[in-house]
Amino acid sequence: MKMREGFMVVLVGLAILLYPWICRANNGSRGGDASEATRVVVDQSGNGDFWRIQDAINAVPSGNARQVIISIKPGTYREKIVVPENKPFITLSGTKSSNTIITWSDSGGIFDSPTVSILASDFIGRDLTIQNTFGVGERAVALRVAGDQVAFYRCQFLSYQDTLLDDAGRHYYWNCYIEGGTDFICGDAASLFEKCHVHSISQENGAITAQHRQSGTDDTGYVFLGCKITGVNGSFLGRPWGEYSRVVFAHSYLSSAILPQGWEDWDDQKKHSNVYYGEYKCFGPGANRSERVDWSRSLSDSEAAPFLAKASIGGQGWLRRKRTP
């Protein structure tokens, strides 16, 4: 097994390193084209190129400049995974989220506990479950995303506190399921969550988001567009980790689990004048704004317009048709 995987590391590395010269010889292009990607298979049964996901990632050369699709066969993969900053253009592709599961149990440091850490740019994840099974009591991140131009499709992220550390960069989440209890979508990225299901398992007064924007001139923030927001008990839509925290819910269903006041100030009233917490044409029992805190906003059409398209994350440039599965 070790000899086979060692051979595959060399083979994958050679294929990627030789690709630019092959393209030049054929007047081709380089960089992120899935139609001319290197494809490798991870399979715990031994019928793939690698047994472990991290081994397949390690086989990608530093400074990679083309699409590498790592196809993960069904199974429960018990490993902590890092996609390092110097390995862009990697795709982790499962079969479906219900049977392709990456799991670990860790807690403590927000940067040390993640089951999966994406530090590279131009990453795609699809049809995966990523979970941290530590439970209640400490920070236990399932996924940290700190690369730029990162997208996830049909994935599940499961933990309790700080489930999704949406840390930095521009990110897109489509048709994903995100579950947690305390500040379980947090960080300072510029992210669009479209058609996602966000579910709070907090038993009392948990916050769904803790966005970390630090300046009124920063272009970061979270937009939930056409999403479904549910929970088992009373939850806030968010509270301000950063002084200028920014979160918008638009055209989304808000269940009765959303507390009438909607937002919480993290015991710091000075943030009332700085945060940007907006709602636009949401519906459901939790969307009634009659008892909302007066420092949140009911957005007008013109105020909401910048948040209602992929342009809010510059996505018209990097969410190209060929990148969408």
Report whether pLDDT(151) > 90.
yes
Q: Which candidate in 162, 166, 167, 265 is catalytic? A: 162
Q: Active site includes 162?
A: yes
56-66: average pLDDT = 95
The 10 Å Cβ neighbour count of residue 33 is: 17
- 312 vs 15, residue with greater confidence: 312
The token pair at 30 is 């380089």
Residue 91 domain-assigned (yes or no): yes
pLDDT in tens, 244-300: 999 999 999 999 999 999 999 999 999 999 999 999 999 999 999 999 999 999 999
Q: Active site includes 43?
A: no
CA angle 95, 96, 102 (to 5 degrees): 90
Residue 49 domain-assigned (yes or no): no
56-81: average pLDDT = 97
**How remote is the C-alpha of 173 from its chain's centroid?**
6
Residue 59 domain-assigned (yes or no): no
Residue type, 59: A
Q: How far apart are CA 184 and CA 39, in angstroms?
A: 33
Residue 29 domain-assigned (yes or no): no
Per the structure, the complete domain to which residue 232 belongs is given by: 71-323
Distances (CA, A) of 70 to 63, 147, 225, 249, 269: 17, 18, 29, 34, 47
The dihedral built from the CA positions of residue 138, 131, 324 and 303, taken in this order, carries a sign that is negative
Contacts of 316 (CB under 8 A, 6+ apart): 309, 310
Residue 44 domain-assigned (yes or no): no
Strands 276-280, 297-298: pairing kind: parallel
**How remote is the C-alpha of 225 from its chain's centroid?**
15
Residue 22 domain-assigned (yes or no): no
Per the rule left: phi > 0, alpha: psi between -120 and 50, beta: everything else, 22 is alpha
Q: Which candidate in 148, 183, 188, 265 is catalytic? A: 183
Q: How far apart are CA 31 and CA 68, in angstroms?
A: 10
User: Residue 247 maps to which CATH number?
Assistant: 2.160.20.10
The token pair at 246 is 């920014």
- In this prediction the pTM is 0.90
pLDDT in tens, 4-58: 555 555 445 544 444 443 333 333 434 555 557 899 999 999 999 999 999 999 9
Residue 15 domain-assigned (yes or no): no
Residue 43 domain-assigned (yes or no): no
89-111: average pLDDT = 97
Distances (CA, A) of 266 to 75, 100, 201, 207, 263: 40, 37, 19, 10, 9
**Tokens 């599940």, residue located:** 156
Q: How far apart are CA 223 and CA 225, in angstroms?
A: 6
pLDDT at 325: 40
Look at the chain and report how many structural domains it folds into: 1
pLDDT at 36: 72
98-125: average pLDDT = 97
Closest CA to 218 of 195, 194, 242, 182: 242
pLDDT in tens, 212-254: 999 999 999 999 999 999 999 999 999 999 999 999 999 999 9
